Structure 1
């Protein structure tokens, strides 16, 4: 059954370059199932932002990878449109670049994902939103794993080939030698101090869930992790970096994340019907 409202389909430029055939298939399925589909082919984030701001009553559909989804969520948050707008996504990109979308329950196949846009149900997800407007759907890690940017091919990682290896070697030689132990961070959860700058920290992880932030601070192995659940978490330290979902950010001196319960309305596949054993008649509602 076609969806009863028109769609604004935002096709990320990287998706068009990476897998144009999947983009075409998704557009065809959406156009066949929904009246008045408007397709936007923005050349960059600024054009996408303008299209979202002028969407009217159209429901936005993102065709692209995790980064494209995160940008759309952030833009809707900044214009205070998350509470009034259900978002849909058709993941298109390399396998590693759509992993987050897959964990949210969205099919990674273009045809199934497009049909989910037309026939799916709305599900709400908690978000973490920081004091700069950044959005976290999955989890956040401080500091990022060493070499993760290079493995994932993110901006800032060296290019392949001899020239890229040469540049990587130059950066490594120019980088100051790391001190003993791990990062020095101050972590506060709802004003309660979990660790301070005088205690080395191997990792801090934040995950939204149940309306709060699950906080895990890992120090020395013999100390064991420090865990907390809070609405607001503030981390400060000497120019630390962090990885939120698919994006490595920083360095920053301080950052505060706040839990926003059920802030994201995302279209996911419809719930599976209950399995009725053979020979058992289906239940009918009782007469009034």
Structure 2
């Protein structure tokens, strides 16, 4: 379910007391945005401010939140760390989480995908006046959480022994042209073979090791199932499926989960947990306060 669809079904609530946890990286990267967000939050609701210096202090502050609604100020990593901590403590369903993104563009890709405003003022106001929306979650077989999606890309070919990068130059361009004329269909022009991966969705075999794949993507979908997309080398259309559980296995492979590189592993299973956590997001126009 997309962010606008979820917004239409959200529940708008008064923020009550807040526990504002400021990630150390946010203070270092953009202290001014942190100050602005803190001022807006404190002006709109009673708030306790926590400024942890280590991950351990971050976890302790979150564990001692009591009845206060947690508000995390930081980048995507801070949000992921918070959800992972609450998942490990089996407290994701104890209440809604709020998030004020602070960081560079690359560090806030997940926030944007979830529909969180990336401006300090807009995000803080959404914390105070937004709606609580239930969101799906992927949990892997090592108890890791994935909010946006996981992807197994094709491996990057290793450079030949002794090879070194060549900068752009007229001589380099001439050599490339000559190589193309002499060897127009040489190995350098061949497409990568891809991964030899076995992909199963709810126990049904979608792809076996005899057919290489270019990329496998798993992300929360709709109706309590995950969307699975398998791209095959040379194929115009990918294979698509929807399932509650997806297993990818094969030779050692790396994967990305919410833009973080993980692995290598030989097998990984992701299971969808429908509406497993709650996030405060901007209210849709016309949503009524309850």
Q: Number of residue pairs matched?
A: 241
Give, in whole Å, the separation in 1 of the partners of 2:39 and 2:192.
56
For residue 15 of structure 1, report the CA deviation from its aligned partner.
0.7
Which whole-Å deviations, capped at 9, do the CAs of 1:36-88 have from their partners, x for residues lacking one? x1212222322211211121111111101111111111111111111121000
8 A Cα contact 1:3 1:34, kept in partner: no
Structure 2 counterpart of 1:206, from 218, 222, 247: 218
- In 2 relative to 1, CA 146–88 (structure 1 residues): closer, same or farther, beyond 3 Å? farther
Name the residue aligned to 1:8. 19
Task: Tell me which moved more, 70-79 or 265-274.
Answer: 265-274
Structure 1 counterpart of 2:121, from 105, 111, 120: 111
Query: Partner of 2:21: helix, strand, or coil?
Result: strand
Give, in whole Å, the separation in 2 of the partners of 1:112 and 1:145.
40
List runs of 5+ in structure 1 lacking aligned partners.
148-178, 275-288
Give, in whole Å, the separation in 2 of the partners of 1:219 and 1:102.
29
Q: Are positions 1:272 and 2:280 aligned together?
A: no
- In 2 relative to 1, CA 30–47 (structure 1 residues): closer, same or farther, beyond 3 Å? same
**TM-score normalised by L of structure 1:** 0.79
8 A Cα contact 2:227 2:241, kept in partner: yes
Which whole-Å deviations, capped at 9, do the CAs of 1:143-177 have from their partners, x for residues lacking one? 27859xxxxxxxxxxxxxxxxxxxxxxxxxxxxxx
Give, in whole Å, the separation in 2 of the partners of 1:73 and 1:144.
29
Query: Partner of 2:93: helix, strand, or coil?
Result: helix
Name the residue aligned to 2:234. 221
Structure 1 counterpart of 2:199, from 187, 202, 213: 187
Name the residue aligned to 1:284. none
8 A Cα contact 1:184 1:237, kept in partner: yes
Structure 1 counterpart of 2:209, from 174, 185, 197: 197
Q: Are positions 1:257 and 2:288 aligned together?
A: no
For residue 258 of structure 1, report the CA deviation from its aligned partner.
0.4
Q: Are positions 1:102 and 2:112 aligned together?
A: yes
Give, in whole Å, the separation in 2 of the partners of 1:199 and 1:4.
52
For residue 250 of structure 1, report the CA deviation from its aligned partner.
0.8
The aligned runs of 1:104-253 (5 Å cut-off) are 104-143=114-153, 181-210=193-222, 211-222=224-235, 224-253=237-266
Give, in whole Å, the separation in 2 of the partners of 1:49 and 1:116.
24
Give, in whole Å, the separation in 2 of the partners of 1:50 and 1:246.
26
Give, in whole Å, the separation in 2 of the partners of 1:71 and 1:246.
14
After the TM superposition, which segments of 4 or more aligned residues of structure 1 sit over 6 Å from their partners? none
Query: Partner of 2:277: helix, strand, or coil?
Result: strand
Q: Are positions 1:30 and 2:41 aligned together?
A: yes
Give, in whole Å, the separation in 2 of the partners of 1:29 and 1:222.
51
8 A Cα contact 2:97 2:278, kept in partner: yes
Name the residue aligned to 1:57. 67
Q: Which has the higher contact order (CA 8 A, sep 6+)?
A: 2
- In 2 relative to 1, CA 120–223 (structure 1 residues): closer, same or farther, beyond 3 Å? closer
